[in-house]
Structure 1
């Protein structure tokens, strides 16, 4: 049996103390009274942490439930410094799921962890509530991974910053898109492959002909979730279009193999021609921080863009006000045109591995670094928070001190 190294007695943590307080957070050295790890637990020293929009909202929320003291954050990449998890060795660089599943309820036993009855989430109470031994949020020098948390080693070819994308946004995108392609559209993809195989020479002659063999998808919203959805859909063989109110985000999405659609395009903002009907509409506007400015056209009303038998995929955790007034999809449309509606705000443990593999296989193909802010030290968290509120970057990156 490999002897475990001594556990740390101190950790540097960002403590959220309530949105109504000024300041709403403090950075402190916390005493760690962790005698030993429980079976399957893993202790990680955090290299980089991501500041997700759901974390940012906590600092500006007026919800009384957000007043408890806790260590925020649920995205991180770090080094294992102690482990009782078989297959996860000390010294390995890892990412981990943002949720900790109980693994014992009926849904977990069925493999439907997204419906876990006892799920807890890193950076949220009660898991991250202020305690000298919890280490339950990623804006900390150390985080203690519970037995029900998925843990995945990171290949050396994937940088720390790129690995941050896996554990929240990318895994969620893959959960939704894989359901879309395997459960609802397998025949469409099969027909495309069959067509390409039977008439490969004719298809190669014409780019237009090639486009016609591909299923089409419109991604609405080019935040982090939306941009990553463009990349995943394009890798799965879709011809991808995207739309957003922000021209710079549209240009960024074009680097992830999407064709921007801007309804008020001018000479400097060329706009792709959207097909009359698409096979899938992906709504990915949940990462926006400013919900006072509704999306220009209510996305759910755009169900008419879907071809008969098409699918509407709702990704992330949008607030209803982001959709604008009257944003509905009539039941008659769903019935009459055989539409499928899929929601994906969480993911299964295997999707984390899928996300890491996707990053590894597309490293160098997509400019992931352009999604990330410069690295802010934890001591400069106010500027990191300001940067996130100003939406200068799709993901703000923080380096905890230790």
Structure 2
């Protein structure tokens, strides 16, 4: 008797898959064959990874500037194709039923949708939060161990999607290099711009010309910003910002010199994580401006803020960390429509096979690249 794809996808399945396991800073990634889940629970999916882009937080973890539980599988900007489903209950954020063969991206977090934080609109702060690329795997994980959440990161052949994960099916036509970062950088920018409010005719200042800042510049332009100024410490990144809709670029070392000519801004987006940039942004915020802080995801020096100035200038100061499910959908739609309007594909400067992941980690250019990508199916060079 013929079985439906959903039914056949729940069949018992027992084989291993390759993963690059992180054991701590200064230690080599260990290529391990780990046992795939033999069965999937309702609401789960088994996804063959086609691409994983390396986020700045991954490099911070590898370099020891950010602490993660070990052992773990890093990587949370992930793109893949569904190979198995626990049942036929899984739908994406458009309400479309997920099927075997769908090309998908998914949220960096899995949430319960029932706790206080989830119900208040902060599922990324769920009391039972699980994060892709940031979760420990069992110490005894290996070919003979089948317990715990093992395949939780992108530096592997497969990823195990657990209940509470929000997915979006994406067109097969959009390039891997364009869509892969959507589940972290692009969705985070969408959250920041949602928080900032209506950008029509706004003067926007962006600190940081990494992927967050470049995406913010382009997305702000697509939403009708009247002018976009980008500030960074790197002249080469500022040259790149001009290709991502920046009307004016300011080298940080020249900030004080150029300050008199900069004017004021309606929206300030701090994407660099710099305390100095935060203070600078407050100083040039116009009456009623919104300041959105995104980049400070690790400890920074304190910032001097004068409450009277916030009050009298009617400033709004917001922090954004990760995003809501709707932001992921907004991000996918943005890249689907504008992914080739601006040269997003060029921001992935190097692509490595999974078997060469150690080479990718040790490669010095990765420290200055906007993104590099790992593709498990890519042949070793």
TM-score scaled by length of structure 1: 0.81
CA distance in 2, matches of 1:12, 1:143: 11
| Mapping 1:167-246, distance limit 5 Å | 167-182=183-198, 189=200, 214-238=201-225, 239-246=227-234
CA contact (8 A) 1:387 1:393 kept: no
Task: For residue 127 of structure 1, report the CA deviation from its aligned partner.
Answer: 6.5
5+ residue gaps, structure 1, are 190-213, 266-270, 287-293
CA distance in 2, matches of 1:163, 1:39: 27
Number of the residue aligned with 1:47: 50
Alpha-carbon deviations, 1:29-54, whole Å to 9, x = none?
2222x222111111100001111111
Task: For residue 91 of structure 1, report the CA deviation from its aligned partner.
Answer: 0.3
Number of the residue aligned with 1:74: 76
Please tell me whether residue 252 in structure 1 is matched to residue 240 in structure 2. yes
* Deviant stretches of 4+, over 6 Å: 127-130
CA distance in 2, matches of 1:385, 1:69: 17
CA distance in 2, matches of 1:165, 1:125: 19
Task: For residue 317 of structure 1, report the CA deviation from its aligned partner.
Answer: 4.1
Q: How many equivalent residue pairs? A: 353
* C-alpha distance 16-146 of structure 1, shift in aligned 2 (>3 A): same
CA distance in 1, matches of 2:77, 2:137: 14
SS in 1 for 2:212: helix
SS in 1 for 2:367: coil
CA contact (8 A) 1:18 1:69 kept: yes
| Mapping 1:2-401, distance limit 5 Å | 2=4, 3-5=7-9, 7=13, 9-21=15-27, 23=28, 25-32=29-36, 34-61=37-64, 66=68, 68-83=70-85, 84=87, 85-86=90-91, 87-126=97-136, 131=141, 132-133=145-146, 134-182=150-198, 189=200, 214-238=201-225, 239-258=227-246, 259-262=248-251, 275-286=262-273, 297-321=276-300, 327-387=303-363, 390-401=366-377
CA distance in 2, matches of 1:75, 1:274: 39
* C-alpha distance 272-251 of structure 1, shift in aligned 2 (>3 A): farther
CA distance in 2, matches of 1:235, 1:285: 22
5+ residue gaps, structure 2, are 92-96
CA contact (8 A) 1:278 1:307 kept: yes
* C-alpha distance 166-273 of structure 1, shift in aligned 2 (>3 A): farther
CA distance in 2, matches of 1:106, 1:386: 42
CA root-mean-square deviation = 2.5
CA contact (8 A) 2:290 2:316 kept: yes
SS in 2 for 1:152: strand
CA contact (8 A) 1:311 1:341 kept: yes
Task: For residue 373 of structure 1, report the CA deviation from its aligned partner.
Answer: 2.2
Task: For residue 371 of structure 1, report the CA deviation from its aligned partner.
Answer: 1.0
